[in-house]
Structure 1
Amino acid sequence: MKAFHEVRSYDSDFMVWHSNYENIGFLAHWHKEIELIYVRSGSCRLSITDVNFTAHAGDLAVCESGQIHYSDSHHMDNSLDFIIFDTSILGSLFENPHFVHPLVTKEELARYGLSDRLTGLINTVSSELEEKKSYYQEVVISSLQTFWFLLKRFHPRTESSSVPDNRRTRMLADFQNLLSYIDDHYADNISLEYAAAGMNFSTGYFSKIFKKLMGINFVTYLNLVRVEHAVYELRNTEQKFTEIALNCGFNNIRTFNRVFKEITGCTPSEFLLLPDPDTYKRTYYNRRSEEQEFVKHDSLTLIKNFD
């Protein structure tokens, strides 16, 4: 179980997915696939790696393979198209293009001559995946490849010679290693000081960088990981609450109950009484409203919010 390392389920071994959602936000997560986010209408706030920006209708956000990304778009109406696809779609020698900026504005798309190609790509991927006619995979692959390589041709990229020694790139790699460590050692006493020392940062600087990359602070993230594993044990074992709390890194049952309710909206006892406890799947959003609706039909990190 990799908390917030999203491992996507596809309908088949053809690893391309598309969907459209309205008025959503999603938690910080990362995956090996490439993610294209097209703003069909409205606006949304996005963070990709350590770049924060607002995308408007007609803009495209590109999340390259392995990049941490999240959206905090509360009070912003929008309609977003998502296309997520495995890097193998682009060929066995794929490398991240290292775009200078993850946002491709409406004006840039028009200047590149890609506006109609992008809407055509979305329509093609959507219809071909749904209808699955003869050679639909080949049609989708050729459409994705054509758009992707044209985007690489036009959209500014970091000089490839500078990428391997880039300090920012190394820092992000270390950061992902830290997240993987947390995934494996969530039951241990992982303090803020310990995590900061592992990155060779002061606690203050580490806290600032963590919040910028993840959208939440270190302690909240650690608690999210621990609660995810606690949810799994509640659903799949007969262990007592105290045992689960200790197994998942909580020092006492009182703290476990408090944190569990803060994150899931109910106590462990209440959770077990839910008619469908499986609706909780690594989804969390800072509760600015009491009512939430989990987005159906895909991403484990997407969630709808209502006032």
Structure 2
Amino acid sequence: MKAFHEVRSYRSNYSLWHSTYQDISFLAHWHNEIELILLRTGSSSISVNDRTFEAQQGDLIICNSGDIHYSDAANQQNTIDFIVFDPALLGQNYPSLLCPQHLIPGGFLQEHRLIAPLDHLIETIDAELDEKQLYYQEIITAALREFWFRLRRCIPDEPSDVHLQGQRSEFLYAFHQLLGFLEEHFSEDIPLETAASMIGYSTGYFSKTFKRLIGINYITYLNMLRIEHAVSCLQSSSDKIIDIALQCGFHNIRTFNRTFREITGYSPTEFLQHSSADSFSLTYYQRRSSEQKLAQDDSPTIINNQC
């Protein structure tokens, strides 16, 4: 399920992507790439690992490789630039170049004259990826490195605490492993107690940590995995709805129908009759209205709140 461990595909052999969205939220996910999130206008509530930031116009959010991040921007209007790129573009010593801050305020960018290099980076990405002339990859990489290293020069390294860093790495790794296990075994009975024991947490602490980290509770997450698989089966097979429900881990059709509607906005039968069922992409994730859509042909993690 790429909405959570996102394995991005690029349009060329150059591992960098940029796009701009209006009035959007995005699902909890993580990836090996670095992600820059620039608030052009408006505001957005963005969570990175176990911290939530209320980003305002001009602010920059940085998600390092492996960070679990999501946004719940209900009733918030915004225009947001997303840049996702392979850490290797910064050089072989990337782990030592991690940005110690996730939120870079717009005032900080202005004070340190970083707005122009950031705007230049975005303009360069768009122009060079569009034309793909000779050495376009090198030109983009140069602009990326110029901005990144100017930024890192202005942000002092935090005092190194090897023990705390190790704990953080183990914490994220444990959740990455758990999410991967759930993606493979979603059809099995995996109660909250079992998931908690897999990473050595009490059920109460696990439940709170999971909700803080992922943005939804454990049962909702597991049901989303099941419903996503159900959608795939409805699209590609002629199996009966009851058989699909059982294959996906539901014990009765009533629970399956109710959960399917809660997550997709449709009953399974309505979904099959939907005009765009063949191209329907799940991850409708706590739909707030019938207009809420997944951005097509782009990041599988982004939800657009307006048509």
TM range (shorter): over 0.9
**Structure 2 letter corresponding to 1:124:** T
Residue in structure 2 matched with residue 80 of structure 1 by the alignment: 80
What are the within-5 Å matches in structure 2 for residues 25-104 of structure 1?
Answer: 25-95=25-95, 97-104=97-104
Q: CA deviation at 1:161?
A: 5.5
Instruction: Encode CA deviations 1:260-296: one digit per residue, 9 max, x unaligned.
Output: 1111111222212222224432422323333223324
Identity %: 48
- C-alpha distance in structure 1 between counterparts of 2:59 and 2:125, whole Å: 18
Q: Give the equivalent residue in structure 2 for 1:294.
A: 294
Q: Aligned equivalents of 1:35 and 1:278: distance in 2? A: 30
Q: Contact conserved, 2:284 with 2:292, CA < 8 A, in 1?
A: no
* Alignment check: 8 A CA contact 1:42 1:57 kept: yes
Instruction: Give 1:94 shift.
Output: 2.6
Determine the structure 2 residue equivalent to 1:109: 109
Deviation sequence 1:25-58 (CA, Å, 0-9, x none)? 0111111111101111111110011110111111
The answer on whether the counterparts of 1:99 and 1:158 sit within 8 Å (CA) in structure 2 is no
Q: For the Cα contact (< 8 Å) 1:98–1:157, is it kept in 2? A: no
**Distance between the aligned counterparts of 1:160 and 1:236, measured in 2?**
51
Q: Which residue of 1 aligns with 2:272?
A: 272
In structure 2, what is the equivalent of residue 151 of structure 1?
Answer: 151
Amino acid at match of 2:203: T
* Paired residues for 1:16-27 under 5 Å: 16-27=16-27
Contact 2:284 2:293 in 1 (8 A): no
Q: 1:163 to 1:90 in 2, by over 3 A?
A: farther
Tell me, what secondary structure is at the counterpart of 1:122? helix
Query: 2:237 maps to what in 1?
Result: 237
Amino acid at match of 1:230: A
Q: SS of the counterpart of 2:46?
A: strand
- 2:122 matched to 1:136? no
- Matched with 1:181 is 181
3-state SS of 2:94 partner: coil
| Root mean square deviation of aligned Cα | 2.0
The amino acid of 1:210's aligned partner reads F
Going from structure 1 to structure 2, the CA distance change for 1:189 and 1:156 (only over 3 Å counts) comes to farther
Alignment-mate amino acid for residue 242 of structure 1: I
Contact persistence 1:38–1:58 (CA under 8 A):
yes
SS in 1 for 2:138: helix
- Once the two structures are overlaid, the 10-residue window that deviates more, 60-69 or 104-113, is 104-113
Aligned to 1:252: 252
- Cα distance, 1:234 vs. partner? 1.6
Give me the whole-angstrom Cα distance separating, in 1, the residues matched to 2:156 and 2:225.
36
Q: Please tell me the residue identity of whatever aligns with 1:267.
A: S
Deviations 1:42-83 (A, max 9, x none): 111100111101111111100111111111111111111111
Q: Which structure 1 segments of 5+ residues have no match?
A: none
* Runs of 5+ consecutive residues of structure 2 not aligned to the other structure: none
Displacement of 1:211: 0.7
TM-score, normalised relative to structure 1: 0.93
Looking at structure 2, the residues matched to 87 and 282 of structure 1 have their Cα atoms a distance apart, in angstroms, of: 29
Separation of aligned partners in 1, 2:244 and 2:306? 32
Higher mean Cα deviation, 129-138 or 284-293? 284-293
Residues in 2 aligned to 1:144 and 1:278: alpha-carbon distance in whole angstroms: 38
